[in-house]
């Protein structure tokens, strides 16, 4: 997502917990002729969020876009979910998303756009994914409430909900050939999503092309939800 936005002309702060991964992302952008600024931030720690946005504020550059996409997913039978796992997923996927949006909004003016990453799991029941599904369902409620509250300030808030994409977080699932066959059969377009499939929807929600769109969730899932 950072690479797509940089290629579209955005000046990007790319954030994450690991400096090495951020430097790698910035190197990929540089190879494409774009510049990104790395910024270490752990959304589970309020002090880390505050430090990161203080650095952004100190740069003097306006903040027009926030992509709230930190996430974690673990499959676990419901009767085996413990407090640590629940807190890990909810703190990353929902609590962290809220406080990042809260802090980012203080640097935003009219015309700014916040895009929260939801999931197909927010609209369907997935066995052994209760904490994850709960966190992503919470993202939808948070998105709608913030959209209404911040509309008078000209800040739009929407959610982007990917379907089945092969990412570092979902790699374990894709190692199972039987799972791949089963999931692909549920997708009307007949394939899993790739990174480029998110570029257009992302740019739409971040740009003036969606100036009259707020409080919405855009599913990018190859028709999986529509087929249920």
Buried-state track 182-213, b at ≥16 Cβ within 10 A, e below 16 = ebeebbeeeebbeeebbbebbbbbbeeebeee
Residue 102 is given by DSSP the state H
| Residues with catalytic function | 132
CA dist 48 to 52, 104, 139, 179, 211, Å? 6, 13, 21, 37, 31
CA dist 101 to 62, 67, 105, 115, 126, Å? 15, 9, 6, 9, 27
């Amino acid at each position: 997502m950072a690479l797509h936005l940089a290629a579209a002309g955005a000046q990007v702060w790319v954030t994450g917990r690991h400096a090495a991964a951020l430097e790698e992302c910035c190197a990929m952008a540089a190879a494409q002729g774009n510049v990104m600024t790395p910024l270490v931030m752990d959304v589970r720690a309020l002090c880390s969020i505050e430090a990161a946005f203080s650095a952004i504020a100190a740069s003097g550059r306006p903040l027009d876009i926030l992509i709230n996409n930190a996430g974690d997913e673990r499959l676990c039978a419901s009767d085996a979910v413990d407090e640590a796992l629940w807190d890990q997923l909810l703190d990353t996927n929902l609590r962290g998303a809220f406080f990042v949006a809260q802090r980012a909004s203080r640097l935003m003016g009219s015309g700014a756009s916040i895009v929260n990453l939801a999931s197909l799991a927010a609209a369907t029941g997935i066995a052994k994914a209760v904490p994850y599904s709960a966190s992503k369902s919470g993202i939808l409620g948070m998105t709608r409430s913030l959209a209404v509250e911040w509309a008078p300030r000209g800040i739009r808030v929407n959610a982007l909900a990917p379907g089945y994409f092969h990412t570092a977080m979902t790699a374990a699932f894709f190692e199972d050939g039987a799972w791949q066959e089963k999931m692909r059969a549920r997708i009307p377009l007949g394939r899993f999503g790739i990174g480029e499939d998110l570029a257009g929807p992302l740019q739409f929600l971040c740009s003036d092309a969606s100036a009259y769109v707020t409080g919405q969730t855009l599913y990018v899932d190859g028709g999986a939800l529509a087929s249920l």
